Amino acid sequence: MATSSVFRPGLFNQKVAIVTGGGTGIGKAISEELLELGCNVVISSRKADRLEAAAQQMTQKIPPSSPASVTPLPCNIRNEDEVKALVSSVLKKYGRIDFLVNNGGGQFTSPTEHMSLKGWKAVVDTNLNGTFNCCKEVYSAWMKEHGGVIINIIADMWKGFPGMAHTGAARAGVDNLTKSLAIEWATSGVRVNAVAPGTIFSKTAMENYKDLGPHLFRRSVPSTPAKRPGVPEEVSSAVCFLLSPAASYISGATLKVDAGQSLYHSMWEIPDHSAWPEAPEGENLDALKELLNPQSKL
Ligand code: ADE
């Protein structure tokens, strides 16, 4: 059974939100919670058929008494013209845009040495440039004059992102973009914040990582203070808080939703090696060698 929002019913009645990547995983949970709170939600992603199916499923859950609605609008966020068309369609249909949730993105796992420039560029293009495109267009076409709230979904890349360096670099860029926009757009009454989820388990995330999925999620458990991955509903509640008037004095912030994971171990294993340059010679190095010597009596 779907979890129910802790927020007040009707909190987002008459509001209009765009949620990119709104049909799957974290984006789906965000869209569903917004709908539950009475919002009109435009879900957007590249794959029209999947988006349509998600919208139909979500529509069925909206009670007849609710003013909420869900509209699927396909858009490749990498493409500026498609983003312009998306924003203009939303304004034509609903006449306003209160919230933009930049959740659309994607990556693949690969050691950096095996990443092609094409693969690198594709990930940066979606996650960083796509977010830029959506922020800029929604601001110019609506929020500049009317205010609004933008939430950028980033990642746990605070210790670097070994194995997914492309998305780490892109999301760190989005984190910084969040701060720049929070300042630049304050004069329009636009709040801009980021949410940085830790390891979040969803059926779509499992599918995306293919055979690696079960391994990745199981392996995350020991390095997670909570001793379990999070679920999308635990991210959507943070997003709804930041969109709500309860966060009216919060802008330029990044809220980690990771149960402290980013303060704890890295999940990246470094095998034993002897490739590191030796420390400068001297009595400290001698003492260190003695300490590390398996035969040491220390
Ligand atoms: N989700 C993943 N890639 C996307 C893209 N290029 N446009 C919109 N949503 C996406």
Report how far residue 172's alpha carbon sits from residue 118's, in angstroms, rounded to the nearest whole number: 20
Question: Check: CATH 3.40.50.720 for 16-267?
Answer: yes
Centroid of ligand 1 to alpha carbon of 204 (angstroms): 14
Centroid of ligand 1 to alpha carbon of 289 (angstroms): 52
Tens digit of pLDDT per residue, the chain (298 long)? Answer: 455 999 999 999 999 999 999 999 999 999 999 999 999 999 999 999 999 999 999 999 999 999 999 999 999 999 999 999 999 999 999 999 999 999 999 888 999 999 999 999 999 999 999 999 999 999 999 999 999 999 999 999 999 999 999 999 999 999 999 999 999 999 999 999 999 999 999 988 888 888 888 988 998 999 999 999 999 999 999 999 999 999 999 999 999 999 999 999 998 999 999 999 999 999 999 999 999 998 887 7
Task: Identify the pLDDT of residue 92.
Answer: 98
Q: Residues lining ligand 1, CB < 6 A? A: 20-21, 45-46, 75-78, 104-106, 126, 130
Task: Identify the pLDDT of residue 1.
Answer: 40
Query: How many C-beta atoms lie closer than 10 Å to residue 91's C-beta?
Result: 15
Residue nearest to ligand 1 atom 9, measured at CA: 45
Q: Where are the domains of the chain?
A: 16-267
Task: Identify the pLDDT of residue 297.
Answer: 79
Residue nearest to ligand 1 atom 2, measured at CA: 105
- In order of 280, 295, 296, the CA distances from 283 in angstroms are 10, 19, 16
- Per-residue pLDDT tens over the stretch 128-180: 999 999 999 999 999 999 999 999 999 999 999 999 999 999 999 999 999 99
Give the global pTM. Answer: 0.96
- Per-residue pLDDT tens over the stretch 192-219: 999 999 999 998 888 888 888 898 899 8
Centroid of ligand 1 to alpha carbon of 17 (angstroms): 17
- In order of 16, 62, 116, 138, 182, the CA distances from 93 in angstroms are 10, 19, 41, 15, 27
Residue nearest to ligand 1 atom 6, measured at CA: 76
Q: Select from 46, 128, 129 the residue to mutate for testing ligand 1; criterion: most ligand atoms less than 8 Å from CB.
A: 46
Residues 102, 150 contacting (CB under 8 angstroms)? yes
